[in-house]
Each structure stands twice: as C-alpha cells, then as structure tokens.
Amino acid sequence: MTDGIKKEDHVDRLRRQWALELPDLDTEPMAILGRAYRLSNLVRPSIEQTFAGFGLDRGEFDVIATLRRSGPPYRLTPTDMYSALMISSGGLTHRLDRLQKAGLIRRERSQRDGRSIEVALTEAGAALAEKAFRTDMTSEMSFLHPLDAKEREALAGLLRKLIAGIETDQAPIEGEGSSTG
C-alpha cells in the first residue's frame, strides 16, 4: 500500500489473466505462494552477487555459515552438516573440497571418536562467514524499505505460521538449502 492506494504487482496481473482464461479456478494460492516465489527470484541475484564478492557461491556460503552459527569450536560432522543443509552427501563433499582448497575449512579426526571426521571452520573461514553474512543482512534489509517495523514483524509472523504448518505436514524437500545464513 502506498498512501491507501493499492498498487498492482506482477502476481495481480497473472491472476487477472488466469481469471479471464479459467474463471472457475480459484487462484488465491498465487496471491501468497506466487508472491513468495516472485520475491525469491527478485532478491536471489543480489544475494548471489554479495557472496560472489567474497569469492563464494551461495552453497559454499551456506556451509561456512552453518559452521559459524554452530558456535565454538565451529566443527560438525559431515552427517550433521548435510542434515542441516538438507543436501546430499555427494553435494556436500563437492562444496567441502572447494572450501578446503580455499583454506576456509579443514577436515579433521573427530575429537570424540577418532574413527570419524569432522569439518572445522578455519579462522579465515569464520572471519569470511561473518563478514559475508553482515554484508548480506545489510543488503537484504534494503529490500524491506517499503515496510515499516510493525509490518515486517507481522509479515514475518504470518510466514512463520505458514511455514511451520507446511513443515508439520511434510518432510523437508530434498536439495533445499539453508537459505541465507
């Protein structure tokens, strides 16, 4: 809303077209899910550009961010990591190889079980994860300017309620990343 005037967006135009073509079909899901998809597509290039500025792709950032937010000593087993990231073990291995080559992570014998391996964030990896995340949050906040603090809180609450309901009804989607941070 801008000064009480409803502004039409891309999804409104799509729904209007479908209403003409299939007037008996309720397109209400597009009003929410279509907008969520559109929003993701609109902000994705900026997020990817932010991480590229740090020499990372989004998947690589997700790995070092997962380790960084896990807290000291910033180490996890590969199983814990691919469960948290909701990716295949093969997909994780490829990311870990690139990050190890860049000096951002190390693979080390587990401190709890010497037979298994843990992934440890290096000091350089921790610093890069924090710097990239801070930059990303500043960038993402710039997209929220049309909403005041109360509107952002209300929208976040409604999205949380929707997602929690969907998560309760179904298992996580294979290949889904951890999102930003």
The string of pLDDT tens digits covering residues 2-25 is: 455 678 999 999 999 999 999 999
Has residue 130 got a pLDDT over 80? yes
Of 65-69, 121-125, 129-133, 175-179, the one with minimum mean pLDDT is 175-179
In angstroms, rounded to a whole number, what is the distance separating the alpha carbons of residues 70 and 83?
13
pLDDT at 181 over 90: no
Tally of CA atoms within 13 A in the half-sphere of 149 that contains its CB: 0
CB-based contact 120:108 (threshold 8 Å)? yes
CA 174 to each of CA 84, 169, 177, 179: distance values in angstroms, whole numbers, following the listed order? 12, 15, 9, 14
Q: Does the pTM of the predicted model rise above 0.75? A: yes
| pLDDT for the residue numbered 171 | 62
The SS3 of residue 176 is coil
What fold is seen in the domain 53-168?
Answer: Arc Repressor Mutant, subunit A (1.10.10)
**pLDDT > 90: what percent of the chain?**
75
The answer, yes or no, to whether residue 38 has pLDDT greater than 90, is yes
> Do 106 and 100 contact (CB within 8 A), yes or no?
yes
- Give the pair of three-digit tokens for residue 38: 């559109």
Q: Where along the chain do its domains lie?
A: 1-43, 53-168
